[in-house]
């Protein structure tokens, strides 16, 4: 019977402990490169989640067809955020435990981004997002990169278009009381005040409202000649739009991007005819936006909107930054991302500033009998 020496036992133990790591490392060398995506698969935004996954998938397929990232095929791993803040935190945490994931595509909802931000900071990997609350890129979180223009710009564009182009002065603002809606309202209010106008009525509402009669009556009583809105969920927007028209408010309406979303137009129908929206994505705004629209229609059989265009850009930007860095090291990818200038995506031209904001302007579009027509693009210096 042979006896093991203490040294042999120690060596054996070390090998046993190290083996899984060695095997994992070896398999990682040959495996695909992974991107994590936090997306609503269930909950009120589940439909939007489907669009978000489709946008990322279109980009992914093109990237893989062209050789992948750093010569590897790419794979997206999705987790359901359940359209809730706790769901988003849980989904991100699950993805963050996967050491193979090199970057993330997170949420279009600002409230969820606020909820996930501390974990994103701890994880320390580049995270693309679509929430438009301006404060999100001022949290001292170096890993957040925004793929949509923030609401400082939407507020400015709505105010400038309403006051200068339409020449209207008696403003009513309706907004969700969540982080997105409240900060959007504040940005618009500030932009209007900069133009010398104080809104005659500002009405907040809680998400998932079933009735907007009191809101509409307040607008009516204030005698508004122009309405602006920051709606988070298309269902709320649909109910509000119908009640607004039924109760006889016909003032021109310039809304935040949700007003031109496919779901909102389907739900509200003619109640949204002749409304204006600031839209980060507009099909006719550039050849890149048009090309994305063609690919999206071929896959989904419906018109694209910003729910899919930003994830399409997010996936492409991550690929571009990693390729530019030449490695997946988070700090190197961050540096490469911030150096991206003049990148033409579906949403517009990306010029990342030091805060991580990629886009600095909005399109104004008009709903003409259910189809979205591009009116103009307003760009601000980054």
Partner 1 sequence: MDLVYQLLFTGIGIGSVYALVALGFVLIFRATNVVNFAQGEFSMVAAFLMVIFAVDLEWPYWLSLILSLGGMAIYGALFNLGVYYPLRHRTYLPVIISTIGASILVTNSTLALYGPQPQVLSNLLDFQGINLGTVFFDSQYLLIIGVTIVLVAFQYWFFEHTLLGKKLQATSQDKEMASLLGIPVAAMIMITFVYSAMIGGLAGILVAPILFVSIHMGGTIALKAFAATIIGGFGDVAGAIIGGLALGVIETFGAAYVSVPYKDGFAFLVLVMFLVFRPQGIFGERVAEKA
Binding region for partner 1 (CB under 8 A): 42-44, 46-47, 49-50, 177, 203-206, 208-211, 213-215, 217-218, 221, 234-235, 238-239, 242, 246-248, 263, 266-267, 269
C-alpha distance from residue 275 to each of 36, 151, 308 (Å): 36, 19, 22
CA distance 262 to 141: 32
If the CB atoms of residues 68 and 204 are measured against partner 1, the closer one turns out to be: 204
Whole-number minimum distance, CB 48 to partner 1, in Å?
9
Report how many helices (DSSP H) and strands (DSSP E) the chain contains, helices first: 12, 14
Q: 107 is written with which tokens?
A: 């949420």
User: What six digits make up the tokens of 135?
Assistant: 């404060």
Can you point out the beta strands (E) in the chain? Answer: 33-39, 74-80, 101-105, 127-129, 144-146, 171-176, 201-205, 226-230, 253-255, 276-279, 341-344, 349-351, 361-368, 371-379
Distances (CA, A) of 144 to 121, 126, 184, 192: 9, 6, 19, 29
The DSSP bridge partners found for residue 207 are none
Question: Smallest distance from the beta carbon of 155 to partner 1, in angstroms?
Answer: 20
Q: Minimum Å distance from CB 142 to partner 1? A: 34
Question: Which residue, 220 or 377, has its beta carbon nearer to partner 1?
Answer: 220
For partner 1, the closer of residues 94 and 266 by Cβ is 266
- Measured from the CB of residue 265, what is the shortest distance to partner 1 in angstroms? 11
- Distance in angstroms (rounded) separating the CA atoms of residues 12 and 6: 10
DSSP bridge partners of 128: 105, 145
Using the minimum distance from each CB to partner 1, give the nearer residue, 208 or 294: 208
**Residue in 49, 29, 130, 36 with CA at minimum distance from that of residue 76:** 36
Closest CA to 241 of 221, 204, 206, 267: 267
CB 115, min distance to partner 1, A:
20
Shortest reach from residue 186's CB to partner 1, in Å = 15
Q: Which residues contact 159 (CB under 8 A, 6 or more apart)?
A: 188, 191, 192, 194, 195, 197
Cβ distance to partner 1 smaller for residue 235 or 330: 235
Residue 347 contacts residue 309 (beta carbons within 8 Å): yes
Q: How far is the CB of 28 from partner 1 (least distance, A)?
A: 34
For 225, residues 6+ apart whose C-beta sits below 8 A from its C-beta are 168, 169, 170, 251, 252
Nearer to partner 1, 67 or 214 (CB): 214
Q: Which is nearer to partner 1, 243 or 323 (CB)?
A: 243
Q: How near is the Cβ of 1 to partner 1 at its closest, in Å?
A: 59
The residue among 56 and 157 lying less far from partner 1, judged by its C-beta, is 56
Closer of 247 and 303 to partner 1 (Cβ): 247
The nearest distance, CB 203 to partner 1, in angstroms, is 6
Q: Are strands 226-230 and 33-39 parallel, antiparallel or unpaired?
A: unpaired
Integer Cα distance of 177 and 6 in angstroms: 67
In terms of CB distance, is 81 or 357 closer to partner 1?
81
Least Cβ distance, residue 191 to partner 1 (angstroms): 23
Q: Strand, coil or helix: what is 141?
A: coil
């Amino acid at each position: 019977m042979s006896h093991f020496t203490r040294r042999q036992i120690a060596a054996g133990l070390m090998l046993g402990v190290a083996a899984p790591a060695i095997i994992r490392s070896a398999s990682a060398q040959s495996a695909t490169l992974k991107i994590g995506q936090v997306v609503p698969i269930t909950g009120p935004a589940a439909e939007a989640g489907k669009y978000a996954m489709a946008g990322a998938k279109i980009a992914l397929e093109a990237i893989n067809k062209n050789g992948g990232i750093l010569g590897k095929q790419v794979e997206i791993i999705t987790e359901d955020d359940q359209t809730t803040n706790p769901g988003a935190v849980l989904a991100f945490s699950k993805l963050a435990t996967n050491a193979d994931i090199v970057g993330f595509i997170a949420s279009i909802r600002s409230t969820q981004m606020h909820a996930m931000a501390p974990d994103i900071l701890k994880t320390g990997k580049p995270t693309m997002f679509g929430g438009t609350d301006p404060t999100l890129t001022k949290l001292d979180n170096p890993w957040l990169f925004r793929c949509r223009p923030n609401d400082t710009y939407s507020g400015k564009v709505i105010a400038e278009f309403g006051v200068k182009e339409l020449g209207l002065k008696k403003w009513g603002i309706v907004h969700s009381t969540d982080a997105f809606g409240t900060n959007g309202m504040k940005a618009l209010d500030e932009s209007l005040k900069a133009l010398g106008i104080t809104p005659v009525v500002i009405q907040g509402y809680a998400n998932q409202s079933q009735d907007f009669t009191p809101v509409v009556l307040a607008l009516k009583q204030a005698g508004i000649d122009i309405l602006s809105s920051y709606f988070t969920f298309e269902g709320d927007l649909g109910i509000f739009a119908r009640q607004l028209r039924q109760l006889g408010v016909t003032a021109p309406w310039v809304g935040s991007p949700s007003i031109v979303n496919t779901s909102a137009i389907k739900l509200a129908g003619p109640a949204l005819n002749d409304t204006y929206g600031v839209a980060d994505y507009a099909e006719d705004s550039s050849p890149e936006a048009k090309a994305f629209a063609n690919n999206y229609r071929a896959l989904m059989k419906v018109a694209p909107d910003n729910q899919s265009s930003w994830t399409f850009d997010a996936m492409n930007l991550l690929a571009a930054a990693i390729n530019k860095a030449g490695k997946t090291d988070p700090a190197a990818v961050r540096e490469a991302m911030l150096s991206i200038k003049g990148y033409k995506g579906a949403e517009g031209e990306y010029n990342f500033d030091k805060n991580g904001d990629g886009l600095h302007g909005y399109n104004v579009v008009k709903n003409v009998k259910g189809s979205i027509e591009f009116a103009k693009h307003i760009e601000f210096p980054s």
